[in-house]
Structure 1
Amino acid sequence: MKRHPLIWLSGAQPAILEQTPGDRAKYQGIGGAVLTTATLAGVSMFFALQMALRAPWYAALPISLVWFLAILNLDRWLVVSIQRGNRAWLVALPRLLMALLFGFIISTPLVLRIFQPEIETEINKIRQEQTERFQGDLSGGEVGRKIDALEKQETALLQTIAGGGTVVNPEEDPQIVALRERLGPLEKTRDENADAATCELTGDKCRDGSRKSGAGPRYENFRAKQREAERQIREIDRQIKDRRDDITATSKTSREQTLREANESLPGVQTQLENLRQIQSDEQQSFEQANEGNTGLLVRLDALNRASAGDFTLGLWRVLLFLLFTVIECLPIFVKVLQLYGPPNTYEQLAEEHAKRSVTTGKIRAETHEQALELEQTSQLSQSRSLVEARQEAAQKLGAMTAESELRVAAAILAAWEEREIARIPKHLDEYVTSTHDPIPEPGSPEPAPEPAVTPPFFGPGAPGVMPYYAPAFDEDARRADLEGRQPR
């Protein structure tokens, strides 16, 4: 049967489906649904890469293709793994939840792409709000406060220089301005500690707490902080008064000195002011670059939420499109699950019978294979036993043949020795007589200790005139060579 891609995607067996042509369209539809979901997943990944990472199309395309193949195989596995059974819903439930999860993830970039004009408009508003918030934080921060103080000091110095060294308003003197800036935090600290001490002593002016009255360690602590702040305030007030008096006194007598001091202080103030303004400008520029580059999925989701919050139509269509894409992504699983609650079609019945036959055939093949292995093992064991018995029998025969050969050789050696010794007797009679008869001891003499009789052996070392005979050792290699009909090594 010719294979069809949609049939393969549906997980159906072509050989069985060939016998049920009426069910072919159903499984082609399931395969088409799997292909559709994978295609939407690839398109969604393409949009997500372009929106979140600003990836060019030639970089986003291969990644989207890999994602398309991954979702294609995943959906095919989910469809194939859902089968009929007593508890099919337990098997289908986790797969359905997985399909829903992937459906939510895949449908989000598609919805964002459809509402891109509305999202871009809202993103511009978000950027403007963030810029204003950053500028406020930048002006109210430490750098902004220093810039404000230096600008006031620069204005005072310029007025002094413009007036020829005369300070028109003592309150605009840089030292007095700096001293008054220190008064604000100290006055706040004094008032807060005074209220806290009153709360501890009388129970009045309490922001929270039990409001119990009475002097204690906490009261004394607050009073000490209050007195310290008051002391510093008095000291600053004295310095302001002294500076004001100095300005008033010197404005009439030392205009040249005042002008010289202003000219000397102005460049340093302007340099500090320029450096701080540059730092502020760099921070502003960095923020603007980061703010312009913030085009990811999170800011787009935030923009879509804000755009749809006040627009019922936009919110409704957003929900409907999101559900539409999610249902499309889960469509193959939905179709497969719905099939479980209907009567089995012809293909399913044949597939079940085929599965049963496959199980039976597999069991028979397994049993046949085991029996064949047992027979092979039994044959090998019998062959090994026969080989051992044959070797034992051959070893016995070889031993008997070796013994017979040794006996014949020994008999031949004995005959040759006997003939040679008989020939030597006439010439060596005394030697043979002395060696075989002991001398008779004289009467009255002590009998010598008997010496062991030394009889020349017939075989082996020491036999007169006889070559030593050594029985050949039993050579296993020679025995194997005889049995195999080859020359020994």
Structure 2
Amino acid sequence: MLKKFFLTCAGVDKNIVENCGNGEQNKFVGIGATVFFTAVMATIAGSYALFTVFDNAYAAISFGLVWGLLIFNLDRFIVSTIKKTGSRLNELLQASPRIILAVIIAVVISKPLELKLFEKEINQVLLTEKIQMTIDTKAQIAQQFSPEIEKIASEISSLKQEITLKELETNTLYESYIAEAEGRKGTKKLGKGPVYQEKRQKHDASLIALKQLKIDNLEKIKTKETAIVVITDNQKLAEQKSEPIIANYDGLMARVNALGKLPWLPSFFIFLLFLAIETSPIIAKLLAPKGEYDFKLEDTETAIKTWVQQQVQQRKQMLNADIIIDNKVYKDISEEEELYTYKQKIARDLMKLQADSFYKKQQKML
């Protein structure tokens, strides 16, 4: 049962191969097994590749089965269409397009398994990239919000500086009228004279203005600090929105790119392994000598080809014979007096009818 299955996978003619020896049958069983297991590996690779994209096991398995059947059909077609001609050069030229196709298939089915085999290393590369993406994203978001925050902070600093300058001015006026009262500066007369009163009034007025300035500026500072808090919250919200996008940076393309950043030699050897598996049925057929099955297949095909050529040639001969016979028959008939007299009478009647019809048309026109 298993032997028949692998023979089916090899794409051979069962009616011919069953009449061949065990050695010849075992050769094609091995080729069929290679085709089958290549399709199995393609199914696994395709399922994993789709699972990394959609994270859905049912969809991944379904796609993997379809992909495996496609690869199975292609490999079976490739193996079954290579004919042994006895000439290595002709066989190599015949197989060259199929070898190119096998290389493409090997690349396609090896890449998902490489992603699985180097999953831990790829995860480390992706983690590093995610960290860098987080830093870059925060820097980009900060560039959007930082100018506004810095502008408001500068305005707050100006308001505070204005209060400080006013306090300094008020303190200077306070020191001035105290020094006047003590006789240390100004008129240098001890006591609270007119100059003292004047300086005291300036200080009191400045103190009132300072209190009002503090009330006004502190209210403005509070409003601007609230604006900074709002902008900062918006910045954090933008950063939070980017976090799931960065966290989900784990798709198939991202993993393939991460794989490309790893050392190339292990991936290259895995590719060579799959290339060897994929091309092994073709190489086996090219290297194998022309066997019993090939001779019997060639005999069957040439017999059919000869029969078709015979049928075509017979039809051509029959056509040529019919043409010769028809020419001779019509030539003999054309020489008969009776047929000539009959056709002459018909032609005379037809010309009379034409003349009568022309006369009637001319009569109506007049």
Q: Which residue of 1 aligns with 2:70?
A: 70
Decide whether the 8 Å contact of 2:166 with 2:210 is kept in 1.
no
Q: 1:355 to 1:259 in 2, by over 3 A?
A: same
The structure 1 residue matched to 2:299, chosen from 353, 372, 393, is 353
The structure 1 residue matched to 2:272, chosen from 323, 326, 329, is 323
Counterparts of residues 366-405 of structure 1 (less than 5 Å):
366-376=312-322, 393=338, 396=341
The structure 1 residue matched to 2:163, chosen from 142, 145, 166, is 166
Give the AA of the match of 1:269. K
Q: Distance in 2 between matches of 1:302 and 1:258?
A: 61
Q: Distance in 2 between matches of 1:142 and 1:305?
A: 33
Q: Distance in 2 between matches of 1:382 and 1:105?
A: 69
Q: Which has the larger radius of gyration?
A: 1
Decide whether the 8 Å contact of 2:47 with 2:60 is kept in 1.
yes
Q: Distance in 2 between matches of 1:399 and 1:91?
A: 68
Q: 1:398 to 1:78 in 2, by over 3 A?
A: closer
Higher relative CO (Cα under 8 Å, sequence separation at least 6) belongs to 2
Q: Which residue of 1 aligns with 2:41?
A: 40
Q: 1:137 to 1:362 in 2, by over 3 A?
A: same
Decide whether the 8 Å contact of 2:6 with 2:29 is kept in 1.
yes
Q: Distance in 1 between matches of 2:318 and 2:145?
A: 91
1:86: Cα distance to partner?
5.4
1:108: Cα distance to partner?
0.9
Q: Distance in 2 between matches of 1:329 and 1:274?
A: 63
Q: Distance in 1 between matches of 2:116 and 2:59?
A: 19
The structure 2 residue matched to 1:333, chosen from 251, 264, 282, is 282
1:239-288 deviations in Å (ceiling 9; x for gaps) = xxxxxxxxxxx976732453354255346534643453354234323321
TM-score of the pair, normalised by structure 2: 0.68
Q: Which residue of 1 aligns with 2:184?
A: none
Q: Distance in 2 between matches of 1:251 and 1:375?
A: 135
How many equivalent pairs are there? Answer: 307
1:128-154 deviations in Å (ceiling 9; x for gaps) = 222123223433x24223323434544
Decide whether the 8 Å contact of 1:45 with 1:109 is kept in 2.
yes
Q: Which residue of 2 aligns with 1:364?
A: 310
Q: 1:169 to 1:362 in 2, by over 3 A?
A: farther
Q: 1:259 to 1:113 in 2, by over 3 A?
A: same
Q: Which residue of 2 aligns with 1:292?
A: 247
1:156: Cα distance to partner?
6.3
Q: Which residue of 2 aligns with 1:277?
A: 232
Q: 1:387 to 1:271 in 2, by over 3 A?
A: farther
1:272-305 deviations in Å (ceiling 9; x for gaps) = 4345335423432332122122212332234445
Q: Distance in 1 between matches of 2:64 and 2:165?
A: 74
Instruction: For structure 1, list consecutive stretches of 5 or more residues without a partner in the other structure.
Output: 171-249, 310-314, 403-472, 476-489
TM-score of the pair, normalised by structure 1: 0.53
Decide whether the 8 Å contact of 1:167 with 1:251 is kept in 2.
no
Decide whether the 8 Å contact of 2:106 with 2:271 is kept in 1.
no
Give the AA of the match of 2:47. F
Decide whether the 8 Å contact of 1:166 with 1:251 is kept in 2.
no
Identity %: 24
1:210-267 deviations in Å (ceiling 9; x for gaps) = xxxxxxxxxxxxxxxxxxxxxxxxxxxxxxxxxxxxxxxx976732453354255346
Q: 1:151 to 1:251 in 2, by over 3 A?
A: farther
Give the AA of the match of 1:287. S
Counterparts of residues 28-177 of structure 1 (less than 5 Å):
28-51=29-52, 53-83=53-83, 84=85, 85=87, 87=89, 88-139=91-142, 141-151=143-153, 153-154=155-156, 157=159, 166-167=163-164
1:447-469 deviations in Å (ceiling 9; x for gaps) = xxxxxxxxxxxxxxxxxxxxxxx
Instruction: For structure 2, list consecutive stretches of 5 or more residues without a partner in the other structure.
Output: 168-204, 351-366
1:106-145 deviations in Å (ceiling 9; x for gaps) = 1110121233344334423321222123223433x24223
Q: Distance in 2 between matches of 1:46 and 1:117?
A: 19
Q: Which residue of 1 aligns with 2:12?
A: 12
Q: 1:350 to 1:263 in 2, by over 3 A?
A: same
Q: What CA RMSD, in Å, does the superposition of the two structures yield over aligned residues?
A: 3.9
Q: Which residue of 1 aligns with 2:194?
A: none
Q: 1:58 to 1:81 in 2, by over 3 A?
A: same
Counterparts of residues 298-317 of structure 1 (less than 5 Å):
298-304=253-259, 309=263
